[in-house]
């Protein structure tokens, strides 16, 4: 996906968007009611006309007066449709729904069926209003993201904080965020701590507590106290800007079903028009009591029924609903095509570190031999202070003692560990190979330890060891269980961590197929091997950084915790904005429900249309049945699609 700069002014918030695309529920907006005025006028005039016709209340309501009355009732709803049909005709696009409805209703007037002509156009117009309202409601979940766009930033300049546009803030500047305000740009927390609401970005309402020097993201809301942040990204490169761009672009990427229906409608509509012409003239050669007016009426019914708006509107509406619901749940699909692709997944390959584990090492066990634990840890921490390895960082957060010792003459022995002097004593910190190389006897119990282990020797005597382990995520085991429930039976774990640890984690999670000690190219080969079987539709879940090649190769690439990862945004097809693997199950459920709704709409629209087309051609259906086959089915399809936004996904 080519990166595009986003102008702050281009991102209109939802409240502004509603002025031009209101769903009719914003009673405070006068323009909302105005859109319904033409339909209301036509409806009142139609009802009055039908009442006068039925009860014969006004004898003068005959001839040209009756024609004028129904014509005036027709104009408010009919003129905009005829206008659109004419515009399309000029552009060479003849067989549009506007053209069909115009011909059908004008034809009804020509044969004297004035009430039916007005009624068909009125119901069509009302159907369009409901369709627009439903589309805008479905888009609402997506547009709601625009409300999290920060509108100003308090930046420190010339000894004071000044309010400016987020676009005007430079990298490295310091900004202040007061309680209740949105963080305007990505940055590093300068304050000691902060409590943030990241629901707009991640879909999770639980406050996120972070410490000094942690990353913070634009769009998060500051909950507790005034905080200061050093800006690390310009606004157009911030996480919120990338997410907004991604969500906006998602609606433009059509699914194969959507594209097929659009292409089908372009072929189907002219065929039905020519069939309607055939309905008028062909019976002349076969029917003894042929009456042109009767067969013209049947052809007009045929045209009304043939209008493909139920299909053309309800299907993209279904996908809009799916994309919106997913984004509301912190799951970003890059397009409707990936909603479809997710429904076909039967094989799931996952990374271990950062996907099902937290990717944060912690001390699991400390075992000393002839040393007090506190004193032992002072020697170890003095040595590990010289290292930047993740295991060293885990040891340095040990809370049992303050590190008051200093290591000298520290040297790193490649692939083995560290050697140095602490308090005049020679200290070795590393693995089994380091101990063997220095003739240190190590207890046999260490050989059975699967997790990462740090061995320590002081003055050529084994002093003890520390076991370091990565933690499973809280919902990891539940995720695997739920994946089985939704029919994903073939689950595989691939990891760069050593195989013994990978197998241990896989056993805890009930994953039967797991491989460790893999390089990125090894993971790539494993996924390629799976894809050689055409029956396998493979999804890969990774962190979006080290696993970019595999994300790109799989049928659906899912980036875990991709909020701050450029590579995740660029490479993955689906982005889980939190670190929760359980969201993958939710993504599968949403995509399957979306596809189910779309196919229900297709079957409903086609089924009813075919039945009423046959009845209409046989003279057994009137314009009223035709209205139901067109507008009624469209409304039913819309209501069905709107269900997506009401479903519970937990």
Kindly list the catalytic residues. Answer: 351
Helix (H, G, I), strand (E, B) or coil at 278: helix
Instruction: Identify the H or E element spanning 461.
Output: strand 461-472
If we measure between CA atoms, which residue out of 249, 269, 255, 267 comes closest to residue 316? 255
Give the DSSP letter string of 389-422: SHHHHHHHT--SS-----EEEEEEETTTEEEEEE
- Report residue 151: phi and psi, to 5°: -100, -20
Helix (H, G, I), strand (E, B) or coil at 426: strand
Cα(412)–Cα(416) distance, integer angstroms: 8
- 52-83 burial: b if 16+ Cβ within 10 Å, else e: bbeeeeeeeeeeeebeebbbebbbbbbeebbe
CB neighbour class for 319 (10 Å; exposed up to 12, middle 13-18, buried from 19): buried
| Half-sphere exposure in the Cβ direction for 62 (13 Å, CA) | 5
Q: What is Dmax (Cα atoms) for the chain?
A: 120
Give the DSSP letter string of 147-163: GGS---EEEEETTEEEE
Cα(62)–Cα(354) distance, integer angstroms: 79
If we measure between CA atoms, which residue out of 266, 264, 218 comes closest to residue 241? 218
- 147-176 burial: b if 16+ Cβ within 10 Å, else e: ebbbeebbbeeeeebeebebbebeeebbbb
* Cβ(103)–Cβ(303) below 8 Å: yes
Helix (H, G, I), strand (E, B) or coil at 586: helix
Lookup result for tokens 């197998």: 503
Cα(82)–Cα(473) distance, integer angstroms: 60
Lookup result for tokens 């885990």: 394
Cα(326)–Cα(543) distance, integer angstroms: 19
Cα(548)–Cα(592) distance, integer angstroms: 26
Cα(280)–Cα(288) distance, integer angstroms: 14
Radius of gyration of the CA atoms of the chain, in A: 34
Beta-carbon contacts of 101 under 8 Å, excluding residues fewer than 6 positions away, are 81, 85, 120, 121, 124, 304, 307
| Half-sphere exposure in the Cβ direction for 481 (13 Å, CA) | 5
- Token readout for 199 is 């629901």
What is the arrangement of strands in the sheet containing 227-231, beginning at the earlier edge strand?
Answer: 160-164, 153-157, 174-177, 227-231, 187-189, 215-216
Beta-carbon contacts of 456 under 8 Å, excluding residues fewer than 6 positions away, are 376, 379, 380, 427, 428, 429, 462, 463, 464, 465, 466
């Amino acid at each position: 996906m080519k990166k595009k700069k986003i102008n702050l002014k281009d991102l209109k918030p939802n409240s502004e968007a509603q002025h031009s695309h209101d769903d009719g529920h914003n009673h405070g907006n006068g323009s909302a009611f105005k859109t319904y005025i033409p339909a209301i006028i036509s409806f009142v005039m139609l009802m009055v006309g039908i009442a006068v016709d039925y009860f014969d209340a006004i004898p003068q309501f005959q001839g040209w007066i009756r024609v004028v009355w129904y014509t005036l009732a027709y104009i408010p709803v009919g003129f905009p449709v005829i206008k659109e049909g004419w515009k399309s005709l000029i552009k060479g696009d003849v067989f549009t729904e506007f053209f069909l409805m115009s011909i059908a209703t004008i034809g009804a007037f020509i044969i004297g069926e004035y009430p039916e002509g007005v009624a068909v156009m009125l119901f069509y117009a009302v159907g369009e209003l409901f369709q627009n309202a439903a589309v805008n409601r479905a888009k609402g979940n997506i547009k709601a993201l625009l409300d999290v766009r920060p509108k100003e930033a308090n930046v420190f300049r010339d000894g004071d904080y000044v309010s400016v546009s987020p676009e005007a803030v430079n990298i490295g500047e310091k900004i202040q965020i007061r309680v209740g305000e949105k963080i305007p740009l990505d940055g590093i927390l300068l304050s000691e701590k902060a409590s943030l609401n990241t629901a707009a970005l991640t879909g999770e309402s639980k406050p996120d507590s972070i410490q000094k020097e942690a990353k913070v993201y634009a769009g998060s809301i500051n909950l507790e106290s005034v905080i200061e942040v050093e800006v690390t990204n310009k606004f157009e490169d911030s996480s919120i800007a990338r997410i907004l761009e991604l969500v906006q672009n998602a609606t433009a990427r059509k699914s194969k079903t959507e594209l097929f229906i659009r292409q089908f409608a372009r072929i189907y509509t002219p065929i039905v028009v020519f069939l309607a012409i055939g309905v008028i003239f062909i019976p002349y050669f076969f029917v003894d009591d042929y009456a042109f007016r009767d067969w013209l009426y049947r052809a007009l019914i045929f045209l009304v029924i043939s209008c493909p708006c139920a299909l053309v509107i309800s299907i993209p509406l279904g996908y809009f609903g799916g994309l919106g619901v997913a984004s509301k749940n912190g799951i970003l699909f890059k397009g409707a095509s990936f909603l479809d692709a997710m429904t076909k997944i039967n094989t799931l390959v996952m990374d271990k570190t950062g996907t099902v584990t937290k990717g944060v090492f912690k001390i699991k066990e400390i075992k000393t031999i002839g040393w007090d634990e506190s004193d032992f840890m002072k020697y170890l921490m003095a040595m590990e202070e010289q290292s930047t390895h993740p295991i060293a960082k885990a040891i340095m957060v040990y809370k049992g003692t303050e590190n008051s010792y200093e290591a000298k003459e520290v040297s790193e022995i490649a692939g083995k560990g560290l050697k140095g002097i602490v308090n005049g004593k020679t200290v070795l910190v590393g693995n089994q190979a380091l101990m063997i190389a220095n003739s240190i006897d190590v207890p046999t119990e260490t050989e059975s330890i699967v997790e990462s282990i740090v061995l320590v020797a002081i003055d050529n005597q084994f002093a003890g060891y520390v076991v370091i382990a990565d933690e499973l995520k809280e919902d990891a085991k539940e995720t695997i269980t739920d994946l089985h429930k939704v029919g994903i039976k073939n689950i595989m774990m691939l990891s760069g961590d050593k195989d013994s640890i990978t197998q241990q984690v896989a056993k805890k999670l009930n994953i039967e197929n797991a491989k460790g000690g893999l390089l990125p190219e090894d993971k790539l080969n494993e996924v390629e091997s799976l894809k050689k079987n055409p029956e396998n539709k493979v999804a890969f879940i990774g962190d979006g950084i080290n696993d970019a090649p595999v994300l790109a190769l799989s049928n659906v690439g899912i980036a875990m915790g991709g909020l701050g990862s450029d590579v995740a945004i660029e490479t993955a097809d689906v982005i889980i904005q939190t670190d929760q693997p359980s969201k993958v199950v939710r993504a599968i459920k949403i995509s399957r429900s979306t596809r189910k709704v779309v196919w229900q709409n297709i079957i409903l629209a086609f089924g009813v249309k075919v039945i009423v087309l046959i009845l209409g051609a046989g003279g057994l259906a009137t314009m009223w049945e035709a209205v139901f086959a067109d507008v009624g089915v469209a409304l039913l399809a819309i209501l069905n699609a709107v269900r997506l936004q009401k479903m519970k996904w937990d």
